[in-house]
């Protein structure tokens, strides 16, 4: 039996372009036969990882980069400051583990693809390099054990060495608006401060596309899988993920729109059967009521959850609704207690 933590969030975003496509337009999706605003899961996971910098110590966070040789070489020098060939040794242990390294003309050697590595994994590889233990099994073990919180949550994929892959304990859905949206255009001009006084024209003309929406955001964490991967205080890690997912915001066009908001509705459940995405509540787009969507969207979410619990899935083992009586700090505390209890009272 696995323990799942589901996050259901309604969040109103004012005129903005939080996540744009290759043409510069806000991302959208067709759902229920109408166009909805959309923010990709990748965009929000990036925002969560950035917020992790405020929630986790540096040694608890991974680094996703092609410059893995430098990371391991720096750890080698911490072990043996007199080492004169740290980069070569770092490259050797990485390649032995299965990380493809190449060097473009005029550039230093680097991984062919972005690689997610925790500080503990870099240190383990460095120790092998210093000890001269360049065996494939040992090098792969160094990159498989001790994943950081973000690696355990979001996973790691390496096509050239599947044995180094890390299954993600968290899944994040694309956020979609609970209602139909129509993108709009802002026509803007910029004035040349040094233009002659008799010049009435603008120095620049342009347009930027935007929309505004009430988004349904969903994510789930397999607490059991996270515990197996990390061997740390799983409940505390989930509490920090919860804070980051609830409070973060992708930074697309943020300087233009100053669109940073907090959620209007947060509903968190702990389940022991399966994760349950409640997006079906909005298959029929919500119509504005009294000039807004939030209240009606919250009603739809509650009604749909009751239908799902009655007909398919069981009631959650624990359900937490953010409110004046249960503000965010208290909700996070209660969530950690619930996860700890569901996992058997102690983390590995």
Chain segment 229-288, per-residue pLDDT in tens = 987 789 999 999 999 999 999 999 999 999 999 999 999 999 999 999 999 999 999 998
In whole angstroms, what is the distance from residue 269 CA to residue 271 CA? 6
CB 222 within 8 A of CB 144: no
Asked if residue 137 lies in contact with residue 146, where contact means CB atoms within 8 angstroms, the answer is no
Torsions phi, psi for 127 (to 5 deg): -65, -40
Instruction: Report how far residue 156's alpha carbon sits from residue 164's, in angstroms, rounded to the nearest whole number.
Output: 8
How many angstroms separate the first and last alpha carbons of the chain?
16
What mean pLDDT comes out for the span 184-195? 87
Give the model confidence (pLDDT) of 19-73 as tens digits.
999 999 999 999 999 999 999 999 999 999 999 999 999 999 999 999 999 999 9
With cut-offs at 50, 70 and 90, classify the pLDDT of residue 193: confident
């Amino acid at each position: 039996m696995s323990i799942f933590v589901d996050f259901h969030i309604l969040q109103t975003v004012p005129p903005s372009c939080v996540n744009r496509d290759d043409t510069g337009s806000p991302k959208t999706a067709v759902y229920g036969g109408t166009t909805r605003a959309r923010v990709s899961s990748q965009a929000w996971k990036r925002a969560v990882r950035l917020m992790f910098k405020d929630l986790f110590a540096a040694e608890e966070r991974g680094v996703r980069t092609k410059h893995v040789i430098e990371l391991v070489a720096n750890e080698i020098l911490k072990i043996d400051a007199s080492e004169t060939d740290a980069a070569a040794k770092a490259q050797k242990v990485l390649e032995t583990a299965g990380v493809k390294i190449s060097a473009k003309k005029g550039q230093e050697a680097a991984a062919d693809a972005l690689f997610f590595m925790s500080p503990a994994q870099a240190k383990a590889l460095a120790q092998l390099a210093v000890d001269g233990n360049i065996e494939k099994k040992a090098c792969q073990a160094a990159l498989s054990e001790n994943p950081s919180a973000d690696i355990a949550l979001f996973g790691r994929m390496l096509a050239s060495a599947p044995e180094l892959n890390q299954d993600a304990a968290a899944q994040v859905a694309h956020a979609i608006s609970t209602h139909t949206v129509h993108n709009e255009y802002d026509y803007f001009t910029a004035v040349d401060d040094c233009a002659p006084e008799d010049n009435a024209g603008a120095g620049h003309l342009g347009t930027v596309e935007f929309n505004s929406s009430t988004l349904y955001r969903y994510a789930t964490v397999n607490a059991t899988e996270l515990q197996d991967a990390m061997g740390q205080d799983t409940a505390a890690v989930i509490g920090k993920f919860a804070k980051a997912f609830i409070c973060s915001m992708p930074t697309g066009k943020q300087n233009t729109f100053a669109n940073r908001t907090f959620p209007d509705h947060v509903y968190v459940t702990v389940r022991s059967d399966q994760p349950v995405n409640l997006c079906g509540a909005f298959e029929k787009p919500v119509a504005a009521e009294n000039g807004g969507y939030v209240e009606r969207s919250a009603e739809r979410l509650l009604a749909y959850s009751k239908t799902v619990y009655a007909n398919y899935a069981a009631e959650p083992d624990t359900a937490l609704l953010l409110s004046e009586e249960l503000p965010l700090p208290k909700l996070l505390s209660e969530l950690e207690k619930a996860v700890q209890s569901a996992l058997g009272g102690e983390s590995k």
